[in-house]
Amino acid sequence: MRSKVMRSPSILAGLALVTFGSSAIAGSSAAAQSVTDNYDAYLEAGYSWAEINGRTNDAEFGGVVARLGLNFGQFLALEGESVLGLDDEEDVIAGREVVVSQEYSLAGFLRISYPISERLSVHARLGGATVALKAEAVGFEETENEEGFAYGIGASVAVLDPFYLRADYVRYDIEDSDTDQYTLTLGAKL
């Protein structure tokens, strides 16, 4: 003779739901735990060199770059970047000598990485940026902020755990100019 539990489809469905639901929750918490184990932050500092191709004039600037990022597993990361300009560029515009400098740039990126080996990985970056340029002449000073889209490629090579070297090329498509930026940084996993 069959028990009442086996004869009632709604009770069987409820037991199946509780059984499968609890294993799904346990499995998802285990998966979430393994993903959180792959979160690691990193900090980088180095030198940046930028070529700005403007509407009317071109300029080249060097700067100090700092980058902070957070890896989400092996392939994805979010990172923020700041560049403080070091160099000034002198130019003649409309018959006047003008000194142009890059005050700073701020950018945020989604970075997609692919490991080539244990020590070497390549990546692509996609994000947005704002750049502040300052122009000075006799009796004139103006700072202009421009925003735009940024994308690029790069590579990282492990040196000695937790340190690595990283090289990047990024193209900034900004309102009135396009900028090619090259950076070399020393990074550390935190």
Q: What is the pLDDT of residues 37-47, one digit of tens each?
A: 456 999 999 99
Q: What is the pLDDT of residues 160-171, one digit of tens each?
A: 989 999 999 999
| 20 has pLDDT over 70 | no
| 28 has pLDDT over 70 | no
- Higher pLDDT residue, 132 or 91? 132
pTM for the model stands at 0.74
* Torsion angle (degrees, nearest 10) of CA 117, 167, 65, 190: 10
Contact 5, 12 (CB under 8 A): yes
Cα 52 from chain centroid?
20
